[in-house]
Amino acid sequence: MTTNEGDETDGPFLSLRDQVAAMKRVYEPATHEMLEALALDYSQRFNQSNENVGVYLKRMREHPQWLHVAAVDALVRTWFPDPGRRAARLQGGWVIKKYREYVEELEEPPAEMVAWAEWILNGGLTYNHLEWMLEVAARSGSITPGEGKRPLPHEVITEAERLQAFWVAGGAQGLERSGYLFVDLDGDFYTPQDYERYRQVAVNEVLSTPYDPSDSQVMYEIQTYLAWAESQRLPAEEEQPLLTDLPRPLQQWVSALGKRIDTGHYSIGVRLAPRSRRRVIEIREKSTFGQVWHLANQQQILQWLQQYGSFSVEQELIHKSS
């Protein structure tokens, strides 16, 4: 279920209370079985039993949107308590109390509670997602629990679509410097370090296979990644022994490649992959354009050699036409 937030982006500014009121339409198509399942989740989550299902179901039939905000309120304050209060897991009594205060307009909903409530509905997410993110945010040290400040979704989560310049900005460390704790990739959430590993695997797959050098997007990713990789190199005194004392099978593959390919057009070497410090064979085209490949295992080496014949034909054709 989503709130279709885009419906209101061009309309008049909505107060926090109006934003919550708009959430009610998410629940309108819900079946009795769906509401019962949500009520059961509330009872188990906040009362550690099934005995309060009826209590929550009654309120869901009245004002489901306010019960949702009250549940979010309890979870947010559990990890980020009010100033002067100790962190403690808030239970069902708190949820019902806040529900009544919100419905009866005794208290206005805080902006951070409304923001997280909308985030859950817009993404079709669960309270488990929220608890995980709040726990990570609380333990990160970027916001000190108990000081009154609480994170907003857009402050700690960024979308993968916005990270074209991921390597230029410093990879995972760049995200963390900006305060981001999560990357949203098509509804899956990664920590900066996990997203860096995901992106590194993706670019290494490209670097181990033939790729189109005329594809500007691919080349930008490769070039910025390689520049970032240079910034991650070990000090020379640590790196040199790892690149000098090579395993015999790796030495044999480097030697075999040197005999199979035109070393006038390509250079062959060994380098350490960033972070993992794994040795990979690096093949560089010596032309001005300078394509690069990183081959980490025998399968990738054999696949590259299989394509090498077509590389050679293309180079010969270019040479004859020039």
Strand 279-285 to strand 292-295: parallel, antiparallel, or no bridges (unpaired)? antiparallel
Segment 24-36 shows an average pLDDT of: 94
Compute the average pLDDT of residues 2-14.
Answer: 54
Say which range, 82-86, 145-149, 277-281, has the weakest mean pLDDT. Answer: 145-149
Residue 174, pLDDT score = 96
What pLDDT is attached to residue 172? Answer: 96
The pairs formed by 184-191 with CB atoms below 8 angstroms and a separation of 24 or more are: 184/123, 184/157, 184/158, 184/159, 184/160, 185/159, 185/160, 186/160, 187/123, 187/124, 189/129, 189/132, 189/133, 189/157, 191/136
pTM as predicted? 0.80
Instruction: Choose among 52, 89, 119: nearest CA to 60.
Output: 52
**Percent of the chain having pLDDT more than 90?**
63
| Cβ atoms 210, 218 nearer than 8 A | no
Lowest-pLDDT range of 12-26, 50-64, 138-152, 259-273: 138-152
Cα distance between residue 77 and residue 108, in whole Å = 15
Contacts of 254 (CB under 8 A, 6+ apart): 246, 268, 269, 270, 281
Q: 53-58 long-range CB contacts below 8 Å, 24 or more apart?
A: 55/92, 55/96
pLDDT digits (tens, 9 = 90+) for 201-243: 999 999 998 888 889 999 999 999 999 998 988 888 888 888 8
Identify the weakest region by mean pLDDT among 15-24, 34-43, 102-111, 303-312.
Answer: 303-312
pLDDT at 2 over 50: no
d(CA 41, CA 254): 59
C-alpha 216/C-alpha 188 separation (Å) is 27
Q: What's the rounded Cα separation, in Å, for the pair 295 and 284?
A: 11
Whole-angstrom distance, CA of residue 40 vs CA of residue 53: 5
Is pLDDT larger for residue 310 or for residue 317?
A: 310
Which residue from 139, 127, 136 is spatially nearest to 157, judged by alpha carbons? 136
Q: Comparing 290 with 302, which gets the higher pLDDT? A: 302
Taking CB atoms within 8 Å and a gap of at least 24, the contacts of 48-56 are 52/92, 55/92, 55/96
Percent above pLDDT 70 for the chain: 89
* pLDDT given for residue 83 in this prediction: 86
- Distance, CA of 191 to CA of 157 (rounded, Å): 9
Give the model's pLDDT for residue 317.
Answer: 38
Q: Please state, rounded to an integer, the average pLDDT across all residues of the chain.
A: 88
